[in-house]
Amino acid sequence: MKEDYYQILGVSKNATTSEIKKAYRRKAIQFHPDKNPDDKSAETNFKKAAEAYEVLGNSEKRSKYDQYGHAAFEGGQGFSGGMNMDDIFSQFGDIFGSAFGGGGFGSGGFSGGQRRSQGSNMRIRVKLTLEEIAKGIEKKIKVPRKIQAPGVQYGTCSTCKGSGQVLKITNTILGRMQTSSVCSNCGGSGQILLNRPSGSDSNGMVKKEETVSIKIPAGVEEGMQLKVNGKGNEAPANGVPGDLLVLIEELPHDLFVREGNHLHYDLYISISEATLGVSKELNLLDGMARIKLEPGIQSGKTLRLRGKGLATINGYGNGDLLVHVNVWTPKKLNKEQHQFFKKMFEDPNFKPTPQKSDKSFFEKVKDMFA
C-alpha cells in the first residue's frame, strides 16, 4: 500500500501551502543526492518527497487526493513514482536549488541551463457501463501518438555546444558583464535535428497508433480524469513524453440510476402482491439479492439495502441500493374483476387510512437527501 503523502512530508492534512512547501524543501535537502551519494534509500525518499509535493503542492490535485486518496491518480499508475531525477530538478529545482549551488546534482544528471522539450498531452474519452464502474476494469485503447521516426538522428548543437545557453560578454562602464540567454539555434534543448526521415515532420516525428492499457479503479464518476504517465506524444531528441489524459464518460443504465455511490431501483409489483406480501429476487450489478415485501406495503415505500451500491473510489466501503416500491394499477379489468373492485368501494379495508409512519412524498424526498 502506498504511503500517505502528508506523512511522507510530515505535515498535517490542514497544512497551508507554505507549510507544505517548507516541509518538502527540508525533505529534499535531507535526502538530496549530493548529500547522499550512492545511497539508494535516500534516492527513494527523495523521489517520494517529490511525488508527494507534486500532488499536495497543487491545489487541484490536493483536492482530488483528499477526496479519493491514491486512487484519484491510478488510471495507468497516475504519478506512481514516474518522475526521474531530471523531472524533479526541472520542476522543483528552484525550491532547494540554492542549497546545492544552483540545482545541479551528482555527476551532472541535470544541466542547469539546458531545457528538455516536453511532448504534448493527449486527451481521450472512455465510455464505461455501470457494471464496469462497479468492478473496475482494465481497458486497452488504440491511441494515435507522435513518436520519433525510425532512423531519425539528433546531434549536439554547434552553437551552444549542447548547453542550451549562449554566453554573451559586454563591456560596460562598470566593467565586463557576462549574461546568458537561451540558444536560438536549438531552442535551449542543446540538440538539433541531423537526419529527418522521409514522411516525418520538421522535428523528425511521425504518428503511430499504439495500444495503451488503462487501469480504471472501481467507483469512478462521470467527468473524472485519469492520467497515464508518458503515454502522450513523444518529444524530439532527449525530451520527455507527454501524458495521456483519460476523461470518464458514464453510460446510462436500463435499471439503475446512480447518485454518488448509491443506486436507485424502481420495483413494480401488482396490487395482489402489495396486498398479500411477496418475496422478490433482484438482479444486481454483480449478483442477486432477495427482498421480502410485507403484506399491505404501500406504493412509494423505499427499502434500503446497505452496501449494495457502488464501491467508493478510495476503497472505504460501498454505497447503498435504494429500492423504490411502485404498486402497478391494472388499466384493464374483465367483468369479474370489475365487480370485485366495485364491491370493495365501501369496504373499510380498502379505504385509505394513512398512519404517522406512512410518510408523505415530500417527507420521503427529505429523508433520501438527509
Residue that is last in its domain, among 84, 112, 140:
112
Say how many domains are in the chain. 2
Kindly report the CATH number assigned to the domain that includes residue 300. Answer: 2.60.260.20
Residue that is last in its domain, among 112, 146, 172:
112
Residues 77, 51: Cα–Cα separation, whole Å? 12
Residue 272 lies in a domain: yes
| CB burial of residue 78 (10 Å; 0-12, 13-18, 19+) | buried
Smallest CA-to-CA distance from 320 within 249, 279, 265, 248 is with 265
Task: Give 358's strand partners.
Answer: none
- Other Cβ atoms closer than 10 A to 185: 14
Residues 213, 75: Cα–Cα separation, whole Å? 9
- In this predicted structure, what is the pLDDT of residue 163? 86
3 state DSSP class of 241: coil
Residues 196, 326: Cα–Cα separation, whole Å? 69
- In this predicted structure, what is the pLDDT of residue 302? 94
Residues 64, 73: Cα–Cα separation, whole Å? 9
Residue 37 lies in a domain: yes
Name, in order, each residue with C-beta under 8 angstroms of 188's C-beta and a sequence gap of 6 or more. 113, 114, 115, 164, 165, 182
Residue 203 lies in a domain: no
Residue that is last in its domain, among 87, 112, 137:
112
Q: What is the span of the domain harbouring residue 92?
A: 1-112
- In this predicted structure, what is the pLDDT of residue 92? 57
Smallest CA-to-CA distance from 228 within 114, 349, 124, 154 is with 124
Q: Is the Cβ–Cβ distance between 283 and 130 less than 8 Å?
A: no
Residues 175, 170: Cα–Cα separation, whole Å? 8
Residue 155 lies in a domain: no
Which residue type is seen at 231?
K
Residue 292 lies in a domain: yes
pTM summary value: 0.60
3 state DSSP class of 193: strand
Residue 159 lies in a domain: no
| CB burial of residue 86 (10 Å; 0-12, 13-18, 19+) | middle
Q: Would you state the cell numbers that stand for residue 47, as one nine-digit string?
A: 523521489
Q: Is the Cβ–Cβ distance between 216 and 204 less than 8 Å?
A: no
Residues 169, 174: Cα–Cα separation, whole Å? 13
Residue 165 lies in a domain: no
Residue 224 lies in a domain: no
Provide the residue-wise pLDDT of the chain in tens; the chain has 370 residues: 678 899 999 999 889 999 999 999 899 888 887 777 778 898 889 889 988 998 999 888 898 888 778 877 765 434 444 565 555 655 555 555 444 443 333 333 334 456 677 889 999 999 999 999 999 999 999 999 999 999 999 999 999 988 888 888 877 666 677 788 888 888 888 899 999 999 999 889 999 999 999 999 999 999 888 889 899 999 998 788 999 999 999 999 999 999 999 999 999 999 999 999 999 999 998 889 999 999 999 999 999 999 999 998 877 789 999 999 999 999 999 999 999 988 888 888 888 888 776 655 556 555 555 5
Kindly report the CATH number assigned to the domain that includes residue 89. Answer: 1.10.287.110
- Other Cβ atoms closer than 10 A to 6: 19
Strands (E), the chain: 122-128, 137-148, 153-156, 165-172, 175-182, 191-195, 205-216, 225-228, 244-250, 256-259, 262-270, 278-284, 287-293, 302-305, 321-328
- Other Cβ atoms closer than 10 A to 60: 8
Q: What are phi and psi of 368, to 5 degrees?
A: -65, -35
**CA count, 13 A, side-chain hemisphere, 128:** 29
